[in-house]
Amino acid sequence: SQQGEEDPQALSIQEGENATMNCSYKTSINNLQWYRQNSGRGLVHLILIRSNEREKHSGRLRVTLDTSKKSSSLLITASRAADTASYFCATYSGGYQKVTFGTGTKLQVIP
């Protein structure tokens, strides 16, 4: 498996429910970032968590990081139809800041 793998690969929930996505990685990281990609092309940065942080919040988003397990989770609370998108984690490591994106979780929020 590759650095930055998300699971599940696909997730379908009802509007108002919470959505949890997980990301696992293999090597030591400097920081981990979550991005969203709506149908189309551009990615939008959601949140960054540094290796010395364990939890971070931004609006309806909550990110946790467990460096001992080399994993992170993204929780979206009170989901909305507009949250329908693919979500990617990106890990940053190395002296020259090598960045690796995961394979993504496709979230569908049903109105």
Partner 1 sequence: GAGVSQSPSNKVTEKGKDVELRCDPISGHTALYWYRQSLGQGLEFLIYFQGNSAPDKSGLPSDRFSAERTGGSVSTLTIQRTQQEDSAVYLCASSARSSWDEQFFGPGTRLTVL
Provide the binding-site residues for partner 1, judged by CB under 8 A: 30-31, 33, 35, 40-45, 48, 88, 90, 92, 96-104
* First-last CA distance in the chain: 34
Q: How far is the CB of 76 from partner 1 (least distance, A)?
A: 19
CA distance 95 to 77: 35
Q: How far is the CB of 43 from partner 1 (least distance, A)?
A: 4
CB 71 within 8 A of CB 57: no
Nearer to partner 1, 30 or 67 (CB): 30
Three-state SS letters, 10-52: EEEEECCCCEEEEEECCCCCCEEEEEEECCCCCEEEEEEEECC
Q: How far is the CB of 93 from partner 1 (least distance, A)?
A: 9
